[in-house]
Each structure stands twice: as structure tokens, then as C-alpha cells.
């Protein structure tokens, strides 16, 4: 029997596919739809200490090759998501989940993480270090000094399983420098990648989203090669305890297969989930299983990270 089961930080997921933060995860109703689908888990919309309206609309647009967004971190507040994932822990036949969060400042991030630490929630947390869309707030993970500072402070008190959501990096030196920092900490995972920040999509003579004069994070087909490169670069550099979640450009079983071949233990779907809805998980799972059957692979371990090079 072909299986797409996977493990992160001791949590077993019956399927390696799930939503990417930001898509189908703003409300309990959306999260419940992912929970009831073939997905192996869900991650919540990134929660901040106080609820946020986000940027003015239009702020998300699908294009032929993907999407552009400048949502601006709209969310119902971290308590809404923390209460929900905690409640689900006590349900029968529940799945392990990911709570995504970040503060509007390092202090606020610590306040939120201490709240999670003091709560009954024992699942995974994804600290979002890569939101590209809050005017005046740079993506944290492009500033290595600040990133190192935040992680060093967090792991003084935070002892539950924690991973980080990363922006794409584009230089080998940056992969090296980032990995050197991440390897110093007991991270459960790194998630590569968030949207490619600050792209511009134009229709006729006008931008397609309102915030930031049209600048926004790019997802979908456009970003798969960048996502795969980041997954593989960190798979090569990080200590084996730090698992990789692959996100970016996944809309077929083949795309998921490639992420796993590059080293991903879990694969997230963003733009394509927005375009197709939660039924996408069953389709892509079947496509991935068909590829595995064809190649004689029974589990993800049979091919994870085993990308071939040309000698
Ligand atoms: O809400 C957003 O604008 C947003 C976030 Br927090 C993120 O991490 N990535 C993204 O593409 N949009």
C-alpha cells in the first residue's frame, strides 16, 4: 500500500499535504473545511495579539500563472486560533495542527508565544518571519541579526514544538548565513517559502491590487523553482532534526513529488487551494500516489531528499 504519511517533531500526519497559511484558514468554518478534506493537517491564518482588518481591497488577485496579494495580515486575533486548535486537541479522530502567529513587534511576538506556552495547546507553532505586506514593516527573516536575536530570546522560555516560515532567499551566501543561524536552535521545522515579496501585476495600464500601489507577494506557478531551490538548499544545510515544509507552486501531484524529492517532509498548497477549494487535497494526493506507484515507492522516505544531480 502506498502511503503519504509523514512525521514532524514526533507528530504523525496521515497525509503530507495541507493548506499554506493565509489560504482557507481565516475562520473556523474555513479551517473545518480543510480538516474534513483529505489534507493531513491545517495551519491557521497568522494571528497577531489583537485582531486586524488588514489592507484595503482589492488585495488578492488570481492570475493565469498564480496570484498576487497584499492582505496586510488581516486576522481574528491569536486567541481565536489558539482556542480553536486547543479545543480540537480533545476531539476524537483529530489531526495535529499548526498555529501560525507573529507579533507586530519583537515584544508582541514574545507576549504571544508566552501566552501559547502557558496555554494547554501542545501542537505545532509556525512563527511567521516573512510577511511581505505590512507597510513600514520589513520581512523579519531578511534581517539576520534581528532573526537571530528573536530566536535566541524565544528559546529561553519556549519549549513546545516551534518552526519558522521563511521568505525565499536568492543567494547562496544567504542560504549559508541563514542555515548557520537556524542550526543553533531547537527548531522543529522551517517552512520554505512564503510568497515572493513585492512583485507587481498589471492589467491594461493599471495595477490589480490597491495596497502599496500594486506591490504584493507572488504565489503559484511563478515561484515553484524558487521554492524548490529553498527547500533543497535548507535540506542540504540544516541538521536532520529540523524538518523542511515545502510551499510554493504546488498544484499537481508532480509538484508535490518535486518538493519531497528536494527534501520536504510536508507540502503546503496556497494559490491552487484558493483557486480550486479543499477538494484539491484528494486530487493531488491521488496524483502523488500514482507517481509513487509508478516508480515503486511505498513511502515518502523512499525518495525524500534524493534529488539526482548531473555529474
Ligand atoms: O497577510 C498577508 O498579507 C500575508 C502574510 Br501575513 C504572509 O505571510 N504572506 C503573504 O503573502 N501575505
Residue 137: the pLDDT is 86
- State the DSSP code for 20: P
The whole-chain average pLDDT of the chain stands at 98
- On whether the pTM is more than 0.85, the answer is yes
pLDDT at 173: 98
pLDDT tens digits along 59-115: 999 999 999 999 999 999 999 999 999 999 999 999 999 999 999 999 999 999 999
How many angstroms does the Cα of residue 22 sit away from the middle of ligand 1?
Answer: 6
- The residues assigned a catalytic role are 131
Q: Which atom of ligand 1 is nearest to the CA of 46?
A: 6
Q: Which residues of 242-257 are buried (b: 16+ CB within 10 A; e: fewer)?
A: bbbbbbbbbbbbebbb
The pLDDT value given to residue 257: 99
d(CA 210, CA 57): 6
Give the integer Cα–Cα distance in Å for 2 and 220. Answer: 27
Give per-residue pLDDT as tens, 238-286: 999 999 999 999 999 999 999 999 999 999 999 999 999 999 999 999 9
Ligand 1 interacting residues, C-beta cut-off 6 A: 22, 46, 69-73, 128, 130-133, 194-195, 217
- Would the pLDDT of 136 be above 90? no
Q: How far is the CA of 132 from the centre of ligand 1 (A)?
A: 6
> How many whole angstroms separate alpha carbon 108 and alpha carbon 129?
13
> pLDDT at residue 132 above 90?
no
Confidence of residue 224 (pLDDT cuts 50, 70, 90): very high
Query: Has 193 been labeled as part of a binding site?
Result: yes
Residue 135: its pLDDT value, please? 87
Amino acid at each position: 500500500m502506498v502511503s503519504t504519511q509523514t512525521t514532524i517533531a514526533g507528530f504523525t500526519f496521515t497525509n503530507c499535504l495541507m493548506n499554506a497559511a493565509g489560504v482557507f484558514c481565516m475562520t473556523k468554518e474555513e479551517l473545518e473545511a480543510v480538516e474534513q478534506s483529505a489534507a493531513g493537517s491545517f495551519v491557521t491564518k497568522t494571528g497577531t495579539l489583537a485582531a486586524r482588518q488588514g489592507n484595503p481591497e482589492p488585495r488578492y488577485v488570481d492570475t493565469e500563472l498564480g496570484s498576487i496579494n497584499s492582505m496586510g495580515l488581516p486576522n481574528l486575533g491569536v486567541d481565536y486560533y489558539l482556542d480553536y486548535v486547543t479545543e480540537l486537541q480533545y476531539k476524537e479522530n483529530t489531526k495535529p495542527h499548526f498555529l501560525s502567529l507573529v507579533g507586530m513587534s519583537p515584544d508582541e511576538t514574545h507576549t504571544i508565544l508566552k501566552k501559547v506556552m502557558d496555554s494547554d495547546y501542545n501542537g505545532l507553532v509556525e512563527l511567521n518571519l516573512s510577511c511581505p505586506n505590512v507597510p513600514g514593516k520589513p520581512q523579519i527573516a531578511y534581517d539576520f541579526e534581528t532573526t537571530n536575536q528573536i530566536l535566541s530570546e524565544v528559546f529561553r522560555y519556549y519549549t513546545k514544538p516551534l518552526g519558522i516560515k521563511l521568505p525565499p532567499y536568492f543567494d547562496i551566501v544567504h542560504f549559508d548565513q541563514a542555515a548557520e543561524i537556524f542550526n543553533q536552535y531547537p527548531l522543529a521545522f522551517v517552512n520554505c517559502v512564503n510568497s515572493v515579496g513585492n512583485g507587481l501585476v498589471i492589467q491594461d495600464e493599471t495595477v490589480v491590487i490597491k495596497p502599496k500601489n500594486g506591490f504584493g507577494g507572488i504565489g503559484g506557478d511563478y515561484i515553484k523553482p524558487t521554492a524548490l531551490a529553498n527547500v533543497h538548499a535548507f535540506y542540504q544545510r540544516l541538521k536532520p532534526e529540523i524538518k523542511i515544509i515545502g510551499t510554493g507552486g504546488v498544484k499537481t501531484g508532480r509538484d508535490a513529488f518535486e518538493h519531497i524529492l528536494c527534501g520536504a517532509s510536508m507540502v503546503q498548497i496556497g494559490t491552487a487551494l484558493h483557486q480550486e477549494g479543499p477538494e484539491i487535497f484528494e486530487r493531488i494526493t491521488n496524483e502523488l500516489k500514482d507517481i509513487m506507484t509508478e516508480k515503486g515507492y511505498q513511502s515518502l522516505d523512499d525518495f525524500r531528499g534524493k534529488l539526482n544531480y548531473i555529474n
